[in-house]
């Protein structure tokens, strides 16, 4: 695969822009998997095996990924929208190549797998793999999501029991149940859901006469939000990470 096409596929601009980056000596390539030093390549048509390739563009290291799968620690007061209405978009937290990766159709760059409200923090997945988004979002697959919920009033055993057995929301007569539910402390509820209804956690907690004061998603499937990933930071998902969420 030509170097300019590799850069284009990774979101570094049009093919002309990518060719220019190479020709200006702004692209370095690691010639082997274990190489510690990257070498300048000024031939935009030079061919490389893209799989496993590492390169550096304008001083920033970048690994080749046929499809991008990343985890973001969503901070509070951000919106999961390309066109936010009130708060900054989560997409501004990502480097431009992830936002500019080419895709078929009008969609460009990675997209959030589901959304978290502006006041909800925690684990958010993003990808440019449409099939992955559909699989993770489909209620048929029942991917469990764990939420750490701070509630206003002290939790009671009956509230926890009702959340486990099922509560009725105002838009559906069928009870909605938590896959798991435990009171970690008097005001800390750990809730596991396999559905993705609108404002589901807040509405379920309201249905048992309590109120959500803080909401944080800590886990999807077997993937936990890393302790060392600070709010606003992102990282690539590994093959083991993807396996842990059933990808």
Enzyme catalytic residues: 117
Length of the chain: 247
Secondary structure element (H or E) that encloses residue 220, with its range: strand 212-220
Handedness of CA 73, 79, 84, 88 (dihedral sign): negative
Bridging pattern class, strands 111-112 and 188-193: unpaired
For residue 204, what are its two tokens?
């379920």
Strands (E), 5-77: 27-29, 39-40, 54-57, 60-63, 69-74
Residues with Cβ within 8 Å of 45's Cβ and at least 6 positions away in sequence, in order, are 2, 3, 4
CB atoms under 10 Å from CB of 129, counted, come to 18
- For tokens 């059933």, name the residue: 246
Give the Cα separation of 37 and 85 in Å (integer).
44
Q: Please give the Cα distance from 18 to 8 (Å, whole number).
A: 6
What tokens does 12 get? 């570094």
- Taking the chain, what is the end-to-end CA distance rounded to the nearest angstrom? 27
Which neighbouring-strand residues pair with 172? 169
């Amino acid at each position: 695969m030509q170097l300019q096409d590799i850069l284009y596929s990774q979101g570094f601009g049009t093919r002309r822009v990518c060719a220019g980056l190479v020709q200006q000596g702004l692209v370095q390539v690691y010639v082997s998997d274990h190489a510690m030093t990257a070498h300048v390549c000024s031939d935009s048509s030079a061919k490389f095996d893209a799989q496993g390739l590492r390169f550096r563009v304008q001083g920033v290291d970048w690994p080749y990924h046929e499809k991008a799968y990343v985890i973001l620690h969503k901070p509070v007061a951000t919106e999961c929208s390309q066109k936010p209405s009130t708060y900054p978009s989560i997409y501004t937290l990502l480097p431009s190549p992830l936002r500019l990766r080419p895709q078929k159709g009008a969609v460009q760059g990675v997209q959030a797998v589901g959304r978290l409200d502006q006041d909800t923090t925690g684990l958010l997945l993003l990808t440019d793999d449409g099939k992955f988004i559909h699989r993770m979002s489909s209620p048929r697959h029942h991917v469990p999501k764990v939420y750490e919920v701070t509630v206003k009033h002290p939790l009671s055993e009956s509230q926890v029991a009702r959340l486990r057995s099922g509560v009725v929301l105002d838009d559906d007569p069928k009870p909605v149940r938590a896959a798991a539910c435990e009171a970690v402390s008097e005001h800390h509820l750990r809730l596991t859901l396999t559905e993705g209804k609108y404002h589901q956690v807040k509405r379920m907690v309201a249905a048992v006469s309590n109120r959500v004061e803080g909401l944080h998603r800590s886990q999807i499937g077997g993937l936990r939000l890393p302790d060392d990933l600070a709010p606003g930071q992102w990282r690539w998902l590994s093959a083991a990470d993807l396996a842990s969420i059933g990808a």
